[in-house]
Amino acid sequence: MDPVFPKNTILIADPDKSPKDRSYVIAKLANINIAIFRQLLIDVEDRYLKALSPDFERYRMTRLNDGDEVLSVGQ
């Protein structure tokens, strides 16, 4: 999660908070079995997840589809 969140950063996530554009979220994609931490980008009706670390640049952005869900919002 470097450089946005340095090593040993404590993250607090709120499942009751509504995500907004550029929120940091924990999401569950329908096609994988684990939760992921990403930045949420909203463009009108479309929602995308962006990896934070430059190490994951190959993943670029993932569009949220039916079956994908935002579980909680980081604070």
**Strand partners of residue 13:** 74
Q: pTM above 0.75?
A: yes
| Sites in the chain below the pLDDT cut of 50 | none
Determine the pLDDT at residue 22.
95
Q: 29-45 pLDDT, tens per residue?
A: 998 889 999 999 999 99
Cα distance between residue 72 and residue 55, in whole Å? 24
> Would you tell me which CATH number, out of the four given (2.10.109.10, 2.60.40.10, 3.30.200.20, 1.20.5.50), belongs to the domain 13-74?
2.10.109.10
**3-class DSSP state for residue 63?**
strand
Cα distance between residue 59 and residue 49, in whole Å? 10
Q: Residue 41: enclosing H or E segment and its boundaries?
A: strand 35-43
Domain coordinates in residue numbering, the chain: 13-74
Q: Report H helices in the chain.
A: none
